[in-house]
Structure 1
Amino acid sequence: MTFTRRQLLQTTGASALLASLGQHAFAQASLETATIVTGFAAGGTSDTTCRRIAQKLSPDYAKSAVVENRTGAGGQIAVSYVKGRPADGATILQTPTSILTIYPHIYKKLPYDPMVDLTPVSIACIFDFGFAVGPSVPASVKTVPEFLAWAKANPAGANFGSPAAGSTPHFIGALLGKKGGVELKHAAYRGTQPAMLDLLGGNISAVSGPIGDITQHLASGKVRILGVSGAKRSRFAPDVPTFGEQGIQDMAHSEWFAFFLPAKASPELVARLNASMKTALAHKDVIEGLGNFGLEAMSSTPGELTDLLKKDTAKWAPIVKEVGFTAEG
């Protein structure tokens, strides 16, 4: 199944699902507290998404909602934690889909099975990635091809950071290096913000990360976005050309944040949370708040999210093989 932003933004599947379940889905008492778990540090796009949704989560689902940052292992710790929680709806996972669609290809022993240990609820937002350089790269470098040429001529500066090893931004940076004929050394961080701090400090040359994690640092004057990963220019950085516009082909990659419950969550519970998420994601404050971080809010049905996971898992298999990256699980 092929998804477009318009289709996902206009989805009405949650309402149909609720109707099929009947009004008893609403009869269940709301939870006292729902905990939304993210595997990334406070201040980043994943954390921001969680906090925006927590503020608007329907009281019909939970009387209050809190966010818990369980960082480490590129997001695996958060997924593993939610996997082990009761399927009573009190613990919700929010994660980039790459942790579920790319990691199975790079870890021999993954502590979870994305299609078995989690129950899809809804997509949260879609976003593109940016490739940015900092003060250690000469101001004369204004495009991605120019950076790759500079990196080839300056091996000590041929490096980049990303929010996690095996993440989509990691593979984007690695692919750019391969296409430019230069090995870019990768530095993995616990989220994009720590990587951006090292970029600003001149400790690394470049960062590959969600566009919103980068644009918030442009005011410093020390960061320049050289390219974006979308099929078309990002509305959050309209003056920055895509990789494709710069002659780098087959590099259109976007990603989703999505919400999940532990495995075996009841259909009624999934429907309730899906409806609450859909309402929250359509709220003006949430749309504008996520937009400030380069995120385009949207929702989906649980079935659409399941199909998307299957589609993206298949997409990344040959890409991982091309890059040749593996990790010890």
Structure 2
Amino acid sequence: MPMVTTTRRALLAGAGALALDLGSSGARAAGFPDQTVKIVVPFSAGSMTDIVVRSLAEKLQAAWGQNVVVENRSGVPGTSSVARAAPDGLTLLFTSNGHVVLGAINKNLPFDPIADFVPVAKVATTPGILITAGDGPYRTLAALIDAAKAKPGALTYASAGVGSATGIAAELFKKITETNLVMVAHRGLPEANTSVLRGDTAMGFTFFNVGGDLIRAGQLRALAVTGNARMSQLPDVPTFAEAGLSEFVYDAWFAMFAPAHTPPEIVAQLARDVTREAAAPDLAHRFAPQGALLTPQPGPAFAGTVREEADRYRKLVQDASNG
């Protein structure tokens, strides 16, 4: 299938139209939802994306009085199924910031990650954690970087899939450190963690809710966290800045999207409902120990984030390819 392309002009126009539509759509969409809502997650069960959306789905189901079904359908097929779905708000996509870079990584997508979706709301953010095997040779960030530079192309990293949040973190790491690490894609983050733990791959990025217990048990070694501050759950693990790589700051986000051409009044209602339920104190308390910060951001503001990151990561991938 031919590559789908999106111009910057189209991105700007689409975001502007979305902001106008959402800003002028204060009323609820009459009778919505009047049947089951399906939320597709393009990652495996047990991933950070999956865990966050299942808790949110429980809240939405109670608020709407309708069933909300979460379907794990990994990779491009899952995302593509939402792009092809009827734009009625009854089929939604919950994914990570890896979504915005899919077009740069895969030139033959059957959908456009930007033009074929409407940002509904950002729900949560979480820092990543750079990991190696607990009994492996790399005890510091500097040691890992030195080894990667000494043997270009010899070291591998475990990814939770092409375009995953952890995969983007690794590509950003490669770019900033000017190293040639080779990606080994896995079905999901638990499988990627196992690969690093066994020494099948030299390193990877994980999230605390998936890899925290393995780190605390010493099976994985955490070399640095990607946020601006240390994690309270891992107080002895430095930030990248503290470890000597101040250029590296990266937080993953998790968000809801609807198919393009979904009526603006439905998108507006979804945005209000999702951000309201994501702000529930009990959800914040549930996810804080897991390293996730619920940071609900509705469509218009979030659309700007999507556009900016699409540009940033597209350039990152292009530069990496040219390098």
TM beyond 0.5: yes
Please say if 1:89 is aligned against 2:89: yes
Letter in 2 for 1:129: G
Q: Secondary structure at the match of 1:186?
A: strand
| Partner SS, residue 31 of structure 1 | coil
**Residue 126 of structure 1: aligned partner:** 125
| Residues 120 and 153 (structure 1), Cα distance of their counterparts in 2 relative to 1, 3 Å cut | closer
CA distance in 2, matches of 1:119, 1:62: 24
* Paired residue total: 304
Residue 107 of structure 2 aligns to which amino acid in structure 1?
Answer: K
RMSD value, Cα: 2.8
C-alpha offsets along residues 78-110 of structure 1, whole Å, 9 cap, x if unaligned? 21110111122211100112222x222232222
Q: 2:169 aligns with which of 167, 172, 184?
A: 172
Opposite residue 46 of structure 2, the aligned amino acid is G
Aligned ranges 1:137-176 → 2 under 5 Å: 137-138=136-137, 141-151=138-148, 158-176=155-173
| CA deviation after TM superposition for structure 1 residue 45, in Å | 0.2
- 1:84 maps to a residue whose letter is R
Q: The residue matched to 2:67 in structure 1 has which SS?
A: strand
Aligned residue runs from structure 1 range 257-296, under 5 A: 257-296=254-293
> 2:72 aligned with 1:69, yes or no?
yes
Q: Tell me what 1:21 maps to.
A: 25
State the match for 2:58 in structure 1.
Answer: 55
Report the 3-state secondary structure (helix = DSSP H, G, I; strand = E; otherwise coil) of the residue aligned with 1:21. Answer: coil
Residue 230 of structure 1 and its aligned partner are, at CA, apart by 1.9
Instruction: Flag structure 2 segments of 5+ consecutive residues without an equivalent.
Output: 1-18
Q: Is the 8 A contact 1:41 1:69 kept in 2?
A: yes
Instruction: Kindly state the Cα deviation for residue 286 of structure 1 after the two structures are TM-superposed.
Output: 1.5
Gaps of 5+ in 1: 1-13
SS at match of 1:250: coil
Q: Which residue among 202, 219, 222 is the counterpart of 1:222?
A: 219
Residue deviations 1:209-233 (CA, integer Å, cap 9, x gap): 3343322322432111101122333
Match for residue 34 of structure 1? Answer: 37
- The runs of at least 4 consecutive aligned structure 1 residues that moved more than 4 Å come to 150-157, 177-182
1:17–1:310 distance in 2 versus 1, CA, 3 Å = closer
Work out whether 1:314 is the aligned partner of 2:311: yes
CA contact (8 A) 1:83 1:263 kept: yes
Any conservation in 2 of the 1:52–1:289 contact (CA below 8 Å)?
no
Aligned residue for 1:32, secondary structure, equals coil
Following superposition, the deviation at residue 124 of structure 1 comes to 1.0
Shift of 1:261: 1.0
Structure 2 SS opposite 1:99? helix
Residues 179-235 of structure 1: per-residue CA shift (max 9 Å, x gap): 556532221112211111222333223222334332232243211110112233334
Q: Contact 1:127/1:256 (CA < 8 Å) preserved in 2?
A: yes
* CA deviations over 1:90-139 (Å, ceiling 9, x no partner): 11100112222x2222322222113321121100111221110114513x
For residue 94 of structure 1, give the secondary structure of its aligned residue in structure 2.
strand
Deviation track 1:18-50 (CA, whole Å, cap 9, x = no partner) reads 8x5354x15425333111110111111011011
Q: Which residue of 1 aligns with 2:104?
A: 105
Conserved? CA contact 2:29–2:266, under 8 Å: no
155 and 114 in structure 1: CA distance in 2 versus 1, 3 angstrom threshold: closer
Amino acid at match of 1:103: L
C-alpha distance in 1 between matches for 2:201 and 2:262 = 43
AA in 2 matched with 1:97: N
**Contact map agreement 2:131 2:220 (CA 8 A) in 1:** yes
**Take 2:253 and 2:307, find their aligned partners in 1: how far apart are those partners?**
13
Instruction: Calculate the TM-score normalised by the size of structure 2.
Output: 0.83
> What amino acid does structure 2 have at the position aligned with 1:99?
H
Look up the match of 1:8. none
Cα distance, 1:321 vs structure 2: 2.8
Alpha-carbon shift at residue 157 of structure 1 (Å): 7.3
Partner of 2:12 in structure 1? Answer: none
Q: Which residue of 2 aligns with 1:78?
A: 78
CA contact (8 A) 2:124 2:254 kept: yes
Summarize the Cα distance change of 1:17–1:179 in structure 2 as closer, same or farther, 3 Å threshold: closer
Q: Deviation of residue 61 (structure 1)?
A: 3.4
User: C-alpha distance in 1, partners of 2:35/2:286?
Assistant: 26
CA contact (8 A) 2:39 2:68 kept: yes
Distance 1:298 1:175 in 2: 23
Q: Decide which moves more: 268-277 or 38-47.
A: 268-277
What is the aligned-residue identity percentage?
A: 28
Contact 1:33-1:62 at 8 Å conserved across structures: no
Deviation at residue 71 of structure 1 after TM alignment: 0.8
Counterpart contact for 1:61–1:273, Cα < 8 Å: no
